[in-house]
Amino acid sequence: MAHVLGIDVSTTATKAVLVDGAGAVRGIGIAEYGLTVPHPLWSEQDPALWWDGAIAAIRSVLDQTGVPAADIAAIGLTGQMHGAVLLDVAGAVLRPAILWNDQRTGAECDAIRAALGPERLVEITGNDALTGFTAPKLVWVRDHEPDVWRRVAHVLLPKDYVRLRLTGEYAVDKADGAGTLLFDLAARDWSPEVLAALGIDPAWMPITREGPEVTGAVTAAAAAATGLRAGTPIVAGGGDQAANAVGVGAVGPGSVALSLGTSGVVFATTDRPLYEPRGRVHAFCHAVPGRWHMMSVMLSAAGSLRWFRDALAPGEPFGGLVEQAGDVPAGSDGLWFLPYLSGERSPHPDPLARGAFVGLTLRHDRRHLTRAVLEGVAFGLRDGLDLMTAAGMPSPQVIRASGGGTASPLWRQILADVLEAEIATVSTSEGAAYGAAVLAAVGAGWFASVADATDALVVATPVAAPGPDAAAYAAAHALYRDLYPALAPLFPRM
């Protein structure tokens, strides 16, 4: 059996990626779907969409490649984190899943901090209570939908609902479990103290497994629906960020990955459960056994450049726009950009934060504004990285970068200068789904460890190193850090 399959259950689509024994992607199947916003700040999805999407994506990749289902050695799962899927005793869905981007639970976050104490909460879970996490969603259902709450028998995360439909088993990987705010980070399992404080029955929570561990096998019914072979093992996998880190080879202690898409994520692997005392960056278990990670999330990274292009240079190719910014010196001649176009998550968990250009003068033109956007995003990413190193993570020498923003040589150089680390791109481009397939390869026995698998399958290529502008950027970043505290009191008034 010479293939493994990675399945990514995301917010907008389910993707199935077929990978051969040499690590090459043989085919990709994708099934798209939508979500609902029944009230302001709400974001929900019918779990049936994920199962239907998985069926369509799996059948698509099998049909287009012609690879027989019997040739798939194992399957790995990944997907959107932090959702709340509530099931009754028979495994039936009780209400639409509440998603990671749902913002209704501000009061519930305050209630969680009050129930445990803010310091104790971070000490146990590694994180502050944020609206995106699963725990506040459960508290909301407890307090607002008592009829649903009385019928709850199982709580799952989105990809693990697909696991249930594939295998009949209730299970979750430790990385995704840690993203619920219900985990004891150091123990790598559910926290009895947090569950008790929030009135959540421990019996509702699924068994937790390490990323490469087998959690079940494809049932006869699931095989008939998907075209897979009954009995195909399915490993635990990982939440999308942990699986993406596996996909780019950020699995050893001290390794760092950067994802530069619409949002920006700095992901740092650790060999012990480090956390930032105020919870300003996330701390979760990794999909790699015996590993943890810290993660900083910027809401508008490459999304800031897209906004700028659409607002001020509509129709302009990104490449040409950014190339012109190369004529401007580092520091954009005294112009700064704050990338808080959607509020911010790390290091400032502030939904009211707003974007800004600061320092505009008559000498600035569009080239300066473009470069300031690139630099402002890099400065924001540096903010998160600094919190991680202050928490005990060593400063990285190399950062493995992925995402559309890394296509720009200028942006890669700015990142290398600002982050003071070599930037490397990797040989894979399917992110979390590829990482899930790598975990499946380990579970199938192809490799002795996740590190062995990524050493064999993922190639990193250096593309930028810190240059002579690094010192100028250090000075510019020092001023950048002072801008948010100066402007924050004004944001609520805006």
Give yes or no: residues 338 and 480 share one domain: yes
- Domain contains 374: yes
Which two tokens mark 468?
Answer: 């002579």
Q: What pLDDT is recorded for position 17?
A: 98
Say whether pLDDT at 350 is over 90. Answer: no
> Would the pLDDT of 166 be above 80?
yes
- Reported confidence tier of residue 103, pLDDT bands at 50, 70, 90: confident
What torsion, rounded to 10 degrees, do the Cα atoms 238, 239, 241, 246 define?
Answer: 10
pLDDT of residue 338: 98
In the residue annotation, 189 being an active-site residue is answered as no
The residue type of 234 is I
What pLDDT does residue 451 have? Answer: 97
pLDDT band at 430 (very low <50, low <70, confident <90, very high): confident
What average pLDDT does this structure show over 442-447?
A: 98
Split at pLDDT 50, 70, 90, the class of 21 is very high
CA-CA distance, 149 to 139, in Å (whole number)? Answer: 10
**Separation CA 47–CA 59 (nearest Å):** 19
User: For residue 379, what are the domain limits?
Assistant: 249-426+459-494
In a domain, 446, yes or no: no
| Mean pLDDT, rounded, for 354-375 | 97
Shared domain check, 254 and 237: no
For tokens 């709450």, name the residue: 149
Q: What is the pLDDT averaged over residues 221-248? A: 97
> Quick check: 229 and 223 in contact, CB under 8 A?
yes
Domain end, chosen from 242, 260, 293, is at 242
48 and 113: one domain? Answer: yes
In a domain, 445, yes or no: no
Q: Is 204 exposed, middle or buried (0-12, 13-18, 19+ CB in 10 A)?
A: middle
List 176, 184, 240, 417, catalytic entry: 240
pLDDT of residue 383: 96
Q: What is the mean pLDDT of the chain?
A: 96
- Please give the tally of structural domains in the chain: 2
Q: Give whole-number Cα distances, 357 to 323, 479, 483, in Å.
A: 20, 13, 11
Helices (H) and strands (E) in the chain, counts: 17, 24
Same domain, 55 and 199: yes
| Residues 148, 154 contacting (CB under 8 angstroms) | no
Q: Residue 400 belongs to a domain with what CATH number?
A: 3.30.420.40
Same domain membership, residue 186 and residue 104: yes
Q: Are 20 and 3 in contact (CB under 8 A)?
A: yes
Query: The whole model's pTM is what?
Result: 0.92
Confidence of residue 261 (pLDDT cuts 50, 70, 90): confident
Which pLDDT does position 429 carry in this prediction?
79
Residues 194 and 214 in one domain: yes
